Structure 1
Amino acid sequence: MKHTLIFLIAMIAFAACGEDNVPVNLEPRLSVSGATDITRTEATLRGTVALRGNTDMPGLRFVYGDDGGATMQVEAFADNGSVSSRITGLTPGTQYTFYLQAYNDRTTINSGTMTFTTIPNDKPTMGELTILSHGPASAIVRYTITDDGGEEITETGCYVTCASDGETYKVVTTLPGNDGTYKVRIGELRQNTTYELKAFASNKEGETVGEALSFTTGNAVTLTEPGVLRSLMGDNLYAYRSLSFAGPMNGDDLACLRSMAGIDTDGSATQGQLIHIDMADVSIVAGGGSYAESRYTEDNVIGYGMFAGCSKLESIVMPDNVTVIERDALRDCASLTSLTIPASVEEITPSSGCAALAEIQVSPANSHYRSDGGALFNADATALVWFPMGKEGDYTLPITVMSIDDYAFTGCKITSLTLPDELTDIGHSAFYGCELEEIHMPDKLRQIPVGVFQDCRRLSTVYLGTDTELVSDYAFDGCPLLHLYLSASYPPVCRPDAFGRSSDEIFSTCVLHVPSNRLAMYKQDSEWGQFKNIVGF
């Protein structure tokens, strides 16, 4: 009995001692679950960590290496037991072994190992080939190399095959553009001929040829982006006399077009011989450099001086979507014989120096302008906008006309003009430099505007109507007036520079005709009294 009691006490004491010595800092369980998102040079290593007992999360890292035995480490972090790290700088086509390692200040433990193999290098992968622009004898194409295969591209460009005879050659390009795309100009094509184009790229693993693209050259130059006309034309810049264009054009393209038409941006002559231009399918867009005279393009605007000095140009079809044709856009296009205004135009100011221009036509769909007898009027023919400089002989304005726009008759060749009685307004410089010899101004016209007859070198006789109130500066500057008739009962205001450089000569040689019953009044006027010969009628 005594021995039994002693045994029970010993067992209880042992059990109590065992509970105090159960470990509380157990090692975590580690495992690796494989590598994902594997490329030629990168991979994501994945594993798991499971804590046991009261163990704090240890430091974690993946240890990996290739078959050569070299090992590397990358720190890792746990997220709800999942562990991952992205590793870079791997060698393509190489097998790697890796394991997950946990460590603290007491111990280091490892998981089991796994392997993965990086993707090997390959031939390049080609993107889509597209045509940016093309002309009668050239094209610019664009493509991408979507994957270089992990190797340096040694050569890239485009294979060109003529469909009619099967002849194939390749055009090689060099560096890609800033956007990562490659552009190739293909020249020396035959007009109206079908070609098959294939982009290609090579590296040390081999060559890849992209899908074929067929296109046919024609008579037109087609652009899909602005600023490429000069590079598209290449050595053929001065080869054409007649061309049609389509697509967006900016200042760089217009400067090139001027050069093709025989004149550079600074006004100097080029070898260009383009005399017929069809821009019906062109959109003028802002951007690029100056096309001439420090002028820059605006959307849908034929700007000031855009074709100035293109003296060889015989015909031009304006873009179908242009809304504004600015003053002197066609200045000194001395060979231009006709001009058609498209339906979209809302605002026009004439150009000077178009000496051969005999006719201006307007699209029937235009709601702002109309043509009558080759002259340009507003839609209801109440205003004359532009009288063609090359139109000769006598001319009578329609009776509906009530106003004449600025510069409307500039440089015109007619020698006699009949104005309607209802005309009440004339714009400044309306008859600048024209060849009129005599003109009768209607009675209802009150103001003779600035420079209206300036430099009319043949104008010798002028009749001013009864309601004339003002003769503005330079109205008759440079005119060889011999007879000036004033019908107003009271002397109109005459600006000091109304006769400009011709003042002294006119005051001496020109006869001023005034109403007989107002003769004294005109002679006493400070301006009109300067005439040496004032007579009554």
Structure 2
Amino acid sequence: MAQLVSVLNSDIMIFKIAYRILVLMAMIFVALAFSGCSKSGEPSHLEPIISDLEVDEVSRTSARLSAMVENRGNGSFERFHFVITGDCDIEIRTEDIDRPSGKVVTTVAGLRPGCEYRLYAEGVRNNAVVKSETLSFFTLPNDPPTISALSVVAAGPTAAILEFDVVSDGGERVYEAGCYLKRSGETSSVNIEAYNLSESKGTYLVHINSLEKHSDYVISPYAVNSVGETVGDEVIFSTTDAVSLSRPGDLGMILKDDELTDDTLSISGYMNGDDFRCVRRLAGAPVISGADYHGPYISHLDISDVVISAGGASYDGSRFTEPDIITTGLFASCDRLESVALPLSVHTIQRNAFSGSRNLKSLTVPAMVSSLSPSADCDALERIDVSEGNATFNGHDGVVFNSGMTEIVWFPHGKSGEFIVPAMITEIGEEAFASCRIEKVILPNGVHEIGRNAFAGSMLREIMIPDNVRNIREGLFQNCGALKRVELGTSVESVGDYVFDNCMIDEIRLHSSIPPYVSANALSNNLGLLDHCKLIVPSGSKPIYRNHSWWGRFNSISEIE
């Protein structure tokens, strides 16, 4: 019995061990089963899925490609790409995308217009290739060109320059572009070809000549490629007597010499050195290069609506335009020019801007000018007016003064006869009356300073220097060939160099009882003055002057009666 019990206990023990082994194996199997399946019960080694293949944003040469990549479990593509094939003998494989997931998007270029293409996607995993479905699409065909609106760059009485852009060539080379031109009210038109100003920008210019003055024209731009022609919107253009420049440098292109029918030229817009070189030639200035010019010429120039720009060639062979400045020599030696209306935007008129323009009769200083210097040798200039609103200068009787009317800035050379200087003037600037035709100047007692060469080269016949002036500056009467009588006030202390150089004075009257100091060169090139000129001095001071080292050299010295 005891042996039987022992056997039973042994069997039970073996059963328990076997049961535990079976339970353990079941647990391991279940664990392995769960680790080898997804939440949906699928195994982890299933291949990824490519779906939702699409193509959009299709143009003539490009398209946007997309597809969904669904990774299942641990399965994913190592590489992914799109493939395009077509009837146009083309195959394009996009760059590989590593480990794609979700929506994959790329853009492909280099397609041909108007072709049918087939698209599919490929994924590679463990050297196995998975392909998507295939779909077809068409690229857009080429179109006629697309052009911008027409703009007028420059316009003259009988010519115009127009501009437009070829915004798109439509995928084909533009082999012709231009404008259709017809008179307003007419049906037939002529085409005028354009030239490409910039291939990179597709900008075209059309130069139209032989228009009629004061006429209306209808102009339409056009461009042609192998697909077809595009004609832009009509523009109504009217010719006038004036020249309009939307950009500087075009005046010589639209203003032909043989088309000038009168002596007046009006210009608006923008001008640079090229344009002023053209104007100077028309105004009689020496020709810088090329054949001699013999007209026609202009006498009256209106550039009040012009903006002066930098750039272009030198207008006189050595100088260049500067923005909003009448630079030195800009109108120099323009012998045919009689009047000029300057740009309203000008703020500076430099010295000798008009020098040698011997027929210039009138000039107006614009309101914006804050810096002004005179020009020499403008023999016919009779008056210079100053625009109302100018805060720096003032005009009176055709003469330019500073704003406070205390100083003469520019006296016109052609002004003749007698001029009475306003009573508030205290200073006469350097060269203020130089080379002028004025014969007599009456200075107010308030003047205490007269600059160098103030009357040099003028037609002055007589002058009285006020009592408040102490110094007779250098060259004050130099080359005054018509000067006959000079009277110096009581306060004069010195006479500078070249004051009486090349003068034929008959009488010098002094009111100072003490002889002024005289520079050694005061009579340079004019020692004959000592022989024929009468020196008249204050009563009782003749002996003092006669014994003076310089004044005593005069042959004739007498006292004021």
Pairwise same-fold verdict (TM > 0.5): yes
Among residues 13, 30, 45, which one is paired with 2:50 in the alignment? 30
Residue 522 of structure 2 is matched in structure 1 by 498
Residue 131 of structure 2 is matched in structure 1 by 110
Structure 2 CA distance for partners of 1:507 and 1:361, relative to 1, 3 Å: same
Residue correspondences, number: 530
2:378 and 2:413 in contact (8 A); partners too: yes
Please report how far the alpha carbon of residue 458 of structure 1 lies from its aligned counterpart in structure 2 after TM superposition: 2.2
Where 2:276 maps in the other structure, the secondary structure is helix
Residue 462 of structure 2 is matched in structure 1 by 438
Where 1:415 maps in the other structure, the secondary structure is strand
Among residues 216, 232, 250, which one is paired with 2:272 in the alignment? 250
1:123 aligns to 2:144 (yes or no) = yes
1:131 and 1:139 in contact (8 A); partners too: yes
Where 1:144 maps in the other structure, the secondary structure is strand
Where 2:94 maps in the other structure, the secondary structure is strand
1:261 and 1:272 in contact (8 A); partners too: no
Query: Aligned letter for 2:212?
Result: R
Residue 162 of structure 1 is matched in structure 2 by 183
Matches within 5 A, 1:114-513: 114-177=135-198, 179-234=201-256, 240-264=262-286, 266=288, 271-292=295-316, 294-500=318-524, 502-506=525-529, 510-513=533-536
Please report how far the alpha carbon of residue 457 of structure 1 lies from its aligned counterpart in structure 2 after TM superposition: 2.2
User: Aligned equivalents of 2:542 and 2:533: distance in 1?
Assistant: 16
| CA distances 1:108-162 after superposition (whole Å, capped 9, x unpaired) | 2111112221110111111111112211111111111111111111100111111
2:158 and 2:259 in contact (8 A); partners too: no
Structure 2 CA distance for partners of 1:84 and 1:525, relative to 1, 3 Å: farther
Where 1:395 maps in the other structure, the secondary structure is strand
Query: Aligned letter for 2:486?
Result: V
User: Aligned equivalents of 1:206 and 1:235: distance in 2?
Assistant: 40
Query: Which runs of 5 or more structure 1 residues have no equivalent in the other structure?
Result: none
| CA distances 1:154-210 after superposition (whole Å, capped 9, x unpaired) | 100111111154452121122233654222221111111111110000011111100
2:70 and 2:101 in contact (8 A); partners too: no
Structure 2 CA distance for partners of 1:107 and 1:469, relative to 1, 3 Å: farther
Please report how far the alpha carbon of residue 12 of structure 1 lies from its aligned counterpart in structure 2 after TM superposition: 5.5
Query: Aligned letter for 2:182?
Result: T
Structure 2 CA distance for partners of 1:286 and 1:68, relative to 1, 3 Å: closer
Residue 122 of structure 2 is matched in structure 1 by 101
Query: Which runs of 5 or more structure 2 residues have no equivalent in the other structure?
Result: 1-17, 38-42
Structure 2 CA distance for partners of 1:33 and 1:514, relative to 1, 3 Å: farther
Structure 2 CA distance for partners of 1:21 and 1:341, relative to 1, 3 Å: closer
1:264 and 1:270 in contact (8 A); partners too: no
Q: Identity rate of aligned residues, in percent?
A: 35
Residue 90 of structure 1 is matched in structure 2 by 111
User: Aligned equivalents of 1:349 and 1:216: distance in 2?
Assistant: 40
1:65 aligns to 2:85 (yes or no) = yes
| CA distances 1:223-256 after superposition (whole Å, capped 9, x unpaired) | 2222222223246575552121112222222222
Residue 41 of structure 1 is matched in structure 2 by 61
Query: Aligned letter for 1:229?
Result: L
Of 485-494 and 96-105, the range deviating more from structure 2: 485-494
Query: Aligned letter for 1:185?
Result: H
Structure 2 CA distance for partners of 1:266 and 1:514, relative to 1, 3 Å: farther
User: Aligned equivalents of 1:162 and 1:366: distance in 2?
Assistant: 45
User: Normalising to structure 2: TM-score of the pair?
Assistant: 0.85
1:51 aligns to 2:52 (yes or no) = no
| CA distances 1:441-480 after superposition (whole Å, capped 9, x unpaired) | 1111122233332222222432222212333333333333
User: Normalising to structure 1: TM-score of the pair?
Assistant: 0.88
Where 2:302 maps in the other structure, the secondary structure is strand
| CA distances 1:406-454 after superposition (whole Å, capped 9, x unpaired) | 3221222222222222211223322221111222211111222333322
Query: Aligned letter for 2:124?
Result: Y
1:238 and 1:271 in contact (8 A); partners too: no
Where 1:75 maps in the other structure, the secondary structure is coil
User: Aligned equivalents of 1:147 and 1:468: distance in 2?
Assistant: 81
1:439 and 1:463 in contact (8 A); partners too: yes
1:259 and 1:272 in contact (8 A); partners too: no
User: Aligned equivalents of 1:368 and 1:257: distance in 2?
Assistant: 29
User: Aligned equivalents of 1:216 and 1:34: distance in 2?
Assistant: 55
Structure 2 CA distance for partners of 1:36 and 1:515, relative to 1, 3 Å: same
Residue 6 of structure 2 is matched in structure 1 by none
RMSD: 3.1
Where 2:281 maps in the other structure, the secondary structure is helix
Please report how far the alpha carbon of residue 381 of structure 1 lies from its aligned counterpart in structure 2 after TM superposition: 3.3
The structure that has the greater radius of gyration is: 2
Structure 2 CA distance for partners of 1:421 and 1:108, relative to 1, 3 Å: same
Of 293-302 and 505-514, the range deviating more from structure 2: 505-514
Structure 2 CA distance for partners of 1:129 and 1:484, relative to 1, 3 Å: same
1:431 and 1:452 in contact (8 A); partners too: yes
Where 2:364 maps in the other structure, the secondary structure is strand
